[in-house]
Chain A
Amino acid sequence: MIDQIQVGKKIKEERLNRGLTQDELSASLKISRQALSKWETGISLPPIEAVVELVRLLNMSIEELLCLNKAVPIDKDNLFVNHSRLYVLDQLLKDKIDIKLEEVFYQLSKQERMRILHAIREGKMKRPNQFHVYLNEAEKKFLYGSKRRNDDDCKKNDD
C-alpha cells in the first residue's frame, strides 16, 4: 500500500534537491504543472508510466520514490496528518503501527471501523480488552455474533 502524501513529499524533496522548478520538471515529464503540483501535495499519484519516467529522470529506485521501505511515524492523536487515510488503515490492519487500537478507534469513519471489525472477526487482528465499550450497537452485533447480546456477554467474550 502506497502512502500518496509521503510520495508527494518525496517528489517535491527530490525536485528541490536538484534545483528544478515545477515548470522544469513538468516540462521534462510532458505533463502540466498543475498535475505535478497535485502529485506533490498528495492529491493524486502519478500514473505508472509517469512513475517510470520519474525514476529515470530523478535517478532513483522505485522503493525510494514510492517510499516503500520508509517508516514514517504516525501521530496517535491525529492519525491522518501527513498520511493518506487508506495507508494508515492498511498499517492498522497489518498491525504495523505501535498504537492501541481502542485509543484511536474513534478517529475512523464508519466504513473504516467496519474493516477493522471484519479483520478482528476473521482472526486477522487481535481484539483489544474491553473493546465492546468503544462500539455502537450494530458494531457489537457484528463482532460478537448474530444473537442479541448484552454488555455482560460482550465483556465475557472480550475477556
Chain B
Amino acid sequence: MEAKGEMTMIVKRMMIEDKEMFVQLTKEEAIKCYLNNEDIIFTDEGEKEVFIESLESKQPKSNKKMKRMLGLLPFLEDEQLSLLVDEIIKGDETIEKDLMSVVPFLNQTDCDRLFDKIVIEHNTSINPISIAPFVSEEALSHLVDKFIEGRLKEELMDDIYPFLSSKDINRLFAYLINK
C-alpha cells in the first residue's frame, strides 16, 4: 500500500469540447493556477493546507493592522492606495504578502509602477504572473523592448508572453525567430 502522501494530487477541472476533464497539475502549474485565481482541486484537504502553507512560508505573515486594512480597500481613495504601493516599492514585506488582494483596487499607473519594480528587482518574493493581468499594454510592450535589448531573462518572458498584445507577441517572436 502506498503512503498517503504519494496518493494525493492537485487537479484542475476543465471543460474541453463540452467534456469535463480533470487534469493533474505539477506543483509549479498549481502555483500559477492559484495565483491566477483559477479553481484547483486537491484530492486531500491536508495536501491543500500543505500547499498553501508552502506558498505562505516563503513570505512574511500579514499582521493584524494589514488584515484590517484589507477590509477597507474598496473604500480607500486612489491617493491612499498609491501610498500603499509606495510602501511595497520601498520593500514593506507585510503588504507584499497580501499583494493579490491589493492589486485589483490599484489604478493603472500604480499597477505599472509596481510591475516595473517586480521585473527590475528579481529578488522580490512577488511572482510577476500575479500582477501581469493588471498591467497596461504599454508597460508590457516596454518589457518586450527590454527583452530584445537583452536586459531580461527568457524565463520571465515564458511567464509573461501570454499577456502581451498581438502586436507585441509578433514583435517578440519575430526577434526570436530571426535571432
Contact = CB atoms under 8 A, between A and B. Distances in A.
Given A118-B105, A122-B108, A48 B133 contact: no
A35 to B, nearest CB: 10
Given A4-B162, A5-B16, A41-B16, A48 B157 contact: yes
Nearest to B176: A52
A89 B174 CA distance: 27
Interface in A71-93: 78, 80-82, 85-86, 89-90
Contacts of B133: 86, 89-90, 115
Contacts of A111: 37, 100, 104
Interface string B148-159: 000000100110
A82 B29 CA distance: 19
Interface stretch (A18-26, A97-105, A125-133, A136-144): A136-144
Given A52-B176, A55-B177, A85-B38, A43 B12 contact: yes
A141 B74 CA distance: 7
B172 A48 contact: yes
Q: For chain A, what secondary structure do more than half of its interface residues adopt (helix, strand, loop), or is it mixed?
A: helix
Contact of A146 (B16, B23, B77, B157): B77
Contacts of A68: 166, 169-170
A153 to B, nearest CB: 16
A31 to B, nearest CB: 13
A48 B177 contact: no
A139 B105 CA distance: 11
B74 A41 contact: no
B34 interface: no
A27 interface: no
Contact of B37 (A4, A44, A78, A109): A109
A69 B165 CA distance: 11
A1 B166 CA distance: 7
A43 B105 CA distance: 28
Contacts of A43: 12, 14, 23, 25, 29
B147 to A, nearest CB: 9
Interface of A: 1-2, 4-5, 9, 38, 41-45, 47-49, 51-52, 55, 62-63, 66, 68-69, 78, 80-82, 85-86, 89-90, 109, 111-112, 114-115, 118, 122, 138-139, 141-142, 146
For the complex of A and B, the 4 pairs showing the least CB-CB separation, nearest first, are A114-B104, A47-B158, A138-B74, A142-B74
Given A38-B29, A142-B105, A146-B75, 19 more contacts: A1-B164, A2-B162, A41-B16, A41-B23, A42-B14, A47-B154, A48-B157, A48-B173, A62-B170, A68-B169, A80-B15, A81-B18, A82-B16, A86-B133, A89-B133, A114-B104, A141-B75, A142-B75, A146-B77
Interface of B: 12, 14-18, 21, 23, 25, 29, 32, 36-38, 74-75, 77, 100, 104-105, 107-108, 133-134, 154, 157-158, 161-166, 169-170, 172-174, 176-177
